[in-house]
Amino acid sequence: MMLNLKDINYQPNIQEISEYINNSIFTQFYNFINNEYKAICKIEYSKDVWARGWNIKLRKTGKSLCVIYPKEGYFTVLVVIGTKEKERVNDLLPQLSDQIQKIFHNTKEGNGQRWLMIDLVDNGCLYQDTLKLIQIRRESK
């Protein structure tokens, strides 16, 4: 049975989502966030037009660390850079990959936030940079 992420009547589990993505990077990423931050994982259905379907929200102490949007062969990670994270991210940005810098600069700021949508296919620079952004998000008070 092929998983239909847009089926609101069937909530998949992590294993089913992992099989749908079919990329070991997802398991590596998911396990890292859980082990490093002891994150609370919540599988939720989004009715947003641009990302309708099941996603994975990872939170720590009431704060969103990231949201994972499963795709076939890869996944998209949403990391919100808010006013609390802005200065640290701006300081770190020149040390991050060109890809992350481009995503950051091409993401419009609204209400003091940038919602960075990062597609992860492998554990290269983009993957490492995404973990750095999540760490900043976790450490901001």
Q: Please give the model's pTM, rounded to 2 decimal places.
A: 0.94
pLDDT reading at 67 higher than 90? yes
All domains of the chain, ordered by start, with CATH?
A: 14-139 (3.90.1150)
- pLDDT confidence of residue 50: 77
17-31, 48-62, 85-99: least confidently modelled range: 48-62
Q: Return the pLDDT at 1.
A: 60
SS3 assignment for the chain: CCCCCCCCCCCCCHHHHHHHHCCHHHHHHHHHHHHHHCCEEEEEEECCHHHCEEEEEEEECCEEEEEEEECCCCEEEEEEECHHHHHHHHHHHHHCCHHHHHHHHHCCCECCEEEEEEEECCCCHHHHHHHHHHHHHHHCC
Query: pLDDT class for 140, splitting at 50, 70, 90?
Result: confident
Predicted confidence at residue 49, as pLDDT, reads 77
